[in-house]
Amino acid sequence: MVLSPPMKRGNATLSGYGTTIFEAMSALAREHQAVNLGQGFPDDKGTLTLRQAAAAYVVEGHNQYPPMMGMPALRQAVSAHAARCYDLTVDWQTEVLITSGATEALLDCFLGLLEVGDEVVLLEPAYDTYAPVIRRLGAIPRAVRLVPPSWALPIDELRAAFSAKTKLLVLNSPMNPTGKVFTRDELAVLAKLCIDHDAFAVCDEVYEHLTFGPSHIPLATLPGMRERTARIGSAGKTFSITGWKVGYITAPSAMLQPITKAHQFATFTTPPNLQHAVALGLGFEKAFFDALGDPLARSRDRLRTGLERLGIPTLPCDGTYFLVLDIAKWQQPGEDDIAFCKRLVLEAGVVLIPMSAFYESNAPTNLVRACFCKADATLDAALERLAPFVTAG
Ligand code: PMP
Ligand code: GLN
């Protein structure tokens, strides 16, 4: 008997999105043996103490479900880290949730806080998971575009985006892909708008320790914001272990409750050995976290200097793994940033990320993102391959 395939279709909103640009470009890099400055992951193996602790914990046999909110040792470490680094008081029992990466944390926040028809203020360019999930939930993203090259916050447009319908603001600082670290003055404007409109803030702070000059200021530390803010961190970035997917949320208990419901129905928990190891890591002294930006700043400078020598303009970058380049001079007539990046793989053997991936529509077409959390040899290899491409163009 020949069975016919089902006539019904999967969810229309999600079916309308392609495979993420990071996955697509990493696949292209593998296919063409290109130097991959696309997806944001470090070349290094990750903090050794944590790798050893995670391995030992598995071998010792701690392999069953940990508590749903997260292992007490890790929740205590998250709370102590917030106090040590930002003077934020967080109750580890009611105000901390451990998640399977910041990606799950964001999903939990959106699932737990949004209703159909709610509006969400986003700052574009925005990390690529926010808008699709918000739309899938029947909520409405209201994107406000930062203005390059300094990625300035357009205050009038920001004010216009907030209304009585605004349920929450999503803020990513330090910001992927721009490398912008929001200043206290900018945060004060955002805080006032949240307070005036009784909106929550979901703060994606995965790059909290990866800054090169201006320190990261959590929005939750501004007056009136702690009680309405969910602060999200990721061990992946802090300890150079992006594949582990251990994230955390701190939020006031009433706000965290519906978010925790989302977590309990989504993943319920996160592998115990990884939680155990991250608890050790978050327990490191403040000097460890303060020094994390130094090697990255050197890598940013190595890439930026090399690109500038080739005549490729770069935009300012004070944090994260990413540098934005202006490639207008090398684009063919009518070629957008996606087509440019694909051609670059074939002609130069270098993978970069088109910035339009971080916009819902009408994106600038002359900007691309390069990831610099790589070994010197990787950065140098990319620059060597770009040299003949740039000269030929
Ligand atoms: N937010 C931003 C801004 C990111 O760049 C990333 C990428 N890792 C994430 C969230 C997801 O973090 P995780 O890997 O912990 O899920
Ligand atoms: N955050 C990473 C980046 O911006 C990608 C993570 C992913 O592939 N989902 O490159």
40 Cα nearest atom in ligand 2: 10
Q: Which of 232, 225, 223, 221 is nearest to 194 (CA)?
A: 225
Q: Which of 211, 356, 390, 180 is nearest to 295 (CA)?
A: 211
pLDDT of residue 210: 98
pLDDT tens digit sequence for 15-68 = 999 999 999 999 999 999 999 999 999 999 999 999 999 999 999 999 999 999
CA of 189 to the centre of ligand 1 (A): 25
pLDDT tens digit sequence for 216-243 = 999 999 999 999 999 999 999 999 999 9
How far are the Cα atoms of 22, 122, 171, 243 from residue 237, in angstroms, in the given order? 16, 22, 17, 10
Q: Which ligand is nearest to the CA of 126?
A: 1
176 Cα nearest atom in ligand 1: 3
Supply the angle between the helices 101-113 and 253-266 in degrees, to the nearest 10.
110
247 Cα nearest atom in ligand 1: 15
pLDDT of residue 1: 76
User: Does domain 48-289 fall into CATH 3.30.420.40?
Assistant: no
Residue in 206, 321, 353, 355 to alter for ligand 1 test, most ligand atoms within 8 A of Cβ: 206
Strand (E) or helix (H) holding 166: strand 166-172
Burial class (CB in 10 A: 0-12, 13-18, 19+), 19: exposed
pLDDT of residue 5: 86
Ligand 1 pocket, residue 127 CB under 6 Å: yes
Domain ranges of the chain: 12-40+292-392, 48-289
Which residue pairs, CB below 8 angstroms and at least 24 apart, start in 61-67? 62/272, 62/273, 62/276, 63/272, 63/273, 64/272, 65/268, 65/269, 65/272, 66/269, 66/270, 66/272, 66/275, 67/269
CA of 388 to the centre of ligand 1 (A): 34
Q: Which residue, by CA, sits nearest to atom 1 of ligand 2?
A: 40
CA of 22 to the centre of ligand 2 (A): 6
CA of 60 to the centre of ligand 2 (A): 32
Ligand 1 pocket, residue 206 CB under 6 Å: yes
Q: Which ligand is nearest to the CA of 103?
A: 1
Q: Which CATH class is domain 12-40+292-392?
A: alpha beta
Q: Which ligand is nearest to the CA of 41?
A: 2
Ligand 2 pocket, residue 39 CB under 6 Å: yes
Query: How confident is the prediction along the chain (393 residues), in pLDDT tens digits per residue?
Result: 788 888 999 999 999 999 999 999 999 999 999 999 999 999 999 999 999 999 999 999 999 999 999 999 999 999 999 999 999 999 999 999 999 999 999 999 999 999 999 999 999 999 999 999 999 999 999 999 999 999 999 999 999 999 999 999 999 999 999 999 999 999 999 999 999 999 999 999 999 999 999 999 999 999 999 999 999 999 999 999 999 999 999 999 999 999 999 999 999 999 999 999 999 999 999 999 999 999 999 999 999 999 999 999 999 999 999 999 999 999 999 999 999 999 999 999 999 999 999 999 999 999 999 999 999 999 999 999 999 999 887
* Percent of residues, the chain, with pLDDT higher than 70: 100
* Separation CA 204–CA 171 (nearest Å): 6
Flag whether the pTM goes above 0.95. yes
